[in-house]
Structure 1
C-alpha cells in the first residue's frame, strides 16, 4: 500500500459506527458519524497557509486532503441529542512508498495542530502515531473490502505508560444512487 492508493480508496463519504472505552472516566461511548474525505490541490488556500506556517516545502507534499465529520454520541451528559462536528486539513509528506509524516491542522485527540508519522504494515494497514502535549495516539485503518474499512485507536498518557481510551469503528462508504 502507498499513501496515494490509501487516499484514493479513502476518499468519499463514509458512515461510521464507533465504540469507545474511556478508561479515565470508566465510560463506554457509542458514536455514529458521517465522515467525508476530499482530496485537495497543493495550491488550495488552506493547504498553502499550513505549508507557510509550518515552513514546509510544497514540493515535498503529496495529495493533501480534508476530512470533515459530524457525530452523534450517546455520552453527552448535558444534551443527549447534541452533535459534534469539525473539519481538518491533512498533508502527507512521504519519506518513501510505505512511510512518512502527516501534518494535521487539528489533531484527533487534542484540538491543536499536530505532526504525525505514518507507515503501512505488510497487510496494508495504515498506522498513524501522533504525540500531543498531553497524550499519544495510535490509529490503525484497514480495508475489509472496497466499501468497508475498520479503524482502531489507542490514546495513552504523554509518558506512554497508561491507556486513557480505546476505540474501534467500522466504516461503510456511502454510495450515491441515481
Structure 2
C-alpha cells in the first residue's frame, strides 16, 4: 500500500461508529458520524497556503490532497445530548518514499489548529499516523477490512508519552449509492 492507493480507497461517503474511552475523565463515549472524503485539485489555493505555512519546503512533492468533512453525534455532549459536531479539514500527503512520509492537516485530530504528522504503512497495508501536539501525542491506525469497510483506532497520550489520555475504536462502512 502507498499513500495514493490509500487515499483512492478512502474516497467517498462513510458511516462511522466510534467508541471512545476518556481515561482523563473516566468516561465512555459513543459517536455516530457521517464522513465525506473528496479528492482535491493539486492547484487548490488552500493547499498552496497550507504548504507555505508549514515547516515543509515550498517545493515539497505532495500528492493526492483531499478534504475530509464530518458530522458527528455523541452520547457525551454535556450541554446538549442532541448536539451535532461538524467540521472539515484539508489533508496534504507529502511522501518520503513508497511507505512513509508526512501529512499536513489544516486542523489537527486532537487540537484545533494546523498539524503536521508523520505516516507509514505496515506490510499488511495498515496506515500508521503520529502527530505531536503541544499538549499531547495522537497515534492513529487505519486499515481496510474489505473494499467498503475500514477500521480506525487511536490513542491520545500525554506530550511526554508517559500516560494515555484517551483511546478509541471505529468501524466505518462506505455508503454505496445505488
Range class of TM-score, shorter chain: over 0.9
1:15 partnered with 2:2: no
- Residue 102 (structure 2) aligns with: 101
Q: Which runs of 4+ in 1 moved over 4 A?
A: none
1:116 partnered with 2:87: no
Give the gaps of 5 or more residues in structure 2: none
- Residue 140 (structure 2) aligns with: 139
- Confirm or deny: 8 A CA contact 1:42 1:58 kept in the other structure: no
The separation in 2 between residues aligned to 1:163 and 1:137, in whole angstroms, is 10
- Residue 50 (structure 1) aligns with: 50
Structure 2 residue matching 1:81: 3-state secondary structure = coil
Structure 1 residue matching 2:53: 3-state secondary structure = helix
The separation in 1 between residues aligned to 2:72 and 2:114, in whole angstroms, is 21
Deviation at 1:43, TM superposition (A): 0.7
The separation in 2 between residues aligned to 1:5 and 1:164, in whole angstroms, is 32
Q: Deviations over 1:8-34 (max 9, x none)?
A: 000000000000000000000000000
Number of equivalent positions: 177
Give the gaps of 5 or more residues in structure 1: none
1:170 partnered with 2:171: yes
Deviation at 1:134, TM superposition (A): 0.2
- Confirm or deny: 8 A CA contact 1:127 1:139 kept in the other structure: yes
- Residue 60 (structure 1) aligns with: 61
Q: Deviations over 1:54-104 (max 9, x none)?
A: 264355111111111000000001100001000001100000000000011
The separation in 2 between residues aligned to 1:126 and 1:51, in whole angstroms, is 22
Over the residues paired in the alignment, what is the CA RMSD in angstroms?
Answer: 0.9
* TM-score between the two structures when normalised by the length of structure 2: 0.97
